Amino acid sequence: MFRQKLRPHRPFRQTATVHGSQTKTVQRNKWMNFRSIITRWVPLGSAIYVGWCYIRASINYEVSKVEILFYEMFPFRVTSRIWGKLAACELPTSLRSFVYGTYIKMFNVNLNEAEFTDLRYYKSLSEFFTRPLKEGARYISPCHCVSPCDGVVLNCGPADTDKIEQVKGVTYSLEEFLGENKWNKRKDDNYYNSLLNNKDNVLHQCIIYLAPGDYHRFHSPCDWTATFRRHFSGKLLSVNPWLARLIPGLFAINERAVYVGEWKHGFFSMTAVGATNVGSIEIYNDPELRTNTKGKRNRISEIDLGHVQLKKGELFGQFNMGSTIILLFEAPKDFKFDMASGDKVLVGQALCAATKEQTR
């Protein structure tokens, strides 16, 4: 009664061929669209290139300026934001022990120092990165200046010129790093001299690198008053020690939050430097600070803090992964660091030898 219109039969082999070509087209589009290039190929290419640079640095191979420029062109700010979102995702309780346990083995994390040793307590990788220490895990030295974080000393000593060593033989500009001197009323044509309260003093610096397995919170290194903050929205290149030997001015290129004030000897500054996958620098007394946000990389924001009193050993902020803390401060010429480049330091460890009066 009802006649169906017959359609010509298509051979099975032909159907499979058409289906196969469609599948290949879909897969090709899946891997070649703009989103895949940013989220898959760029991170993969970055990891391969950084690994290759590491191998060549380990055999003292001199990397060319063109290669460094090529490395700087990678969109590390984008990949860092993606990584930050992934790290903030809540993990199922059943996976936490495996994920964090793998991380502990890879980066030699000392979990016994953590306030919470049960891995199931940490909801995300970000929470695990910024884990607090148990009370008494760090001894705060009576010395008037102590280490603000756990890490490895890249460089320390007097900085008596505008060009400062970030590692041996590689420098960065003091003025480019700190920016225009707006925090005091002293005017001097020489930028270096404009920072000093006492012309008989000199600046000293201490650069400490936080590895991925280190405790990621940082503390106030001394009793001081913070009055000014400047945020540079720069790049997010890796600050690994071997890369710091390759890129001059690395710390003046990367994103950083500079806090300036005074301590017992005069000028004092503490800077948290961002790095690859460190998309978030959090400062507890500065909730307005927002790092690794969208926009041009050469943005600079400033804020007068008033007079924020900070005590030695007090919590100051945290990184969402390892990065670098740089101290630049005024002190007498005979100020001596009680450590050297390459030394491992812990929060509260004396930066200089304590005097007899301080140990009483």
Q: Write the DSSP symbol of residue 337.
A: B
Maximum CA extent, the chain: 112
Contact predicate 273/230, CB 8 Å = no
Catalytic residue flag (residue 220): no
Helix (H) or strand (E) holding 37: none
Contact predicate 261/303, CB 8 Å = no
Strand, helix or coil at 132? coil
Q: 3-state DSSP: the chain helix, strand, coil percent, rounded to 5?
A: 30, 25, 40
For residue 233, give both structure tokens.
């929205």
Catalytic residue flag (residue 323): yes
Residues 6+ apart with CB under 8 A from 57: 63, 242, 243, 245, 246
* Residue the block writes with tokens 């390892």: 322
Residues 6+ apart with CB under 8 A from 312: 140, 144, 146, 220, 221, 222, 223
Residues 6+ apart with CB under 8 A from 63: 53, 56, 57, 246
The catalytically annotated residue of 126, 147, 220, 323 is 323
Length of the chain as a residue count = 360
Strand, helix or coil at 329? strand
Q: Could you give the CA distance from residue 326 to residue 337 in angstroms, rounded to a whole number?
A: 14
Catalytic residue flag (residue 219): yes
Angle between the N-to-C axes of helices 65-72 and 42-58, in degrees from 0 to 180, rounded to the nearest 10: 150
What are the backbone angles phi and psi of residue 133, rounded to the nearest 5°?
-90, 155
The catalytically annotated residue of 144, 219, 231, 265 is 219
The catalytically annotated residue of 147, 150, 204, 220 is 150
Q: Could you give the CA distance from residue 84 to residue 279 in angstroms, rounded to a whole number?
A: 6
Q: Could you give the CA distance from residue 12 to residue 24 in angstroms, rounded to a whole number?
A: 18
Annotated catalytic residues are 150, 219, 323
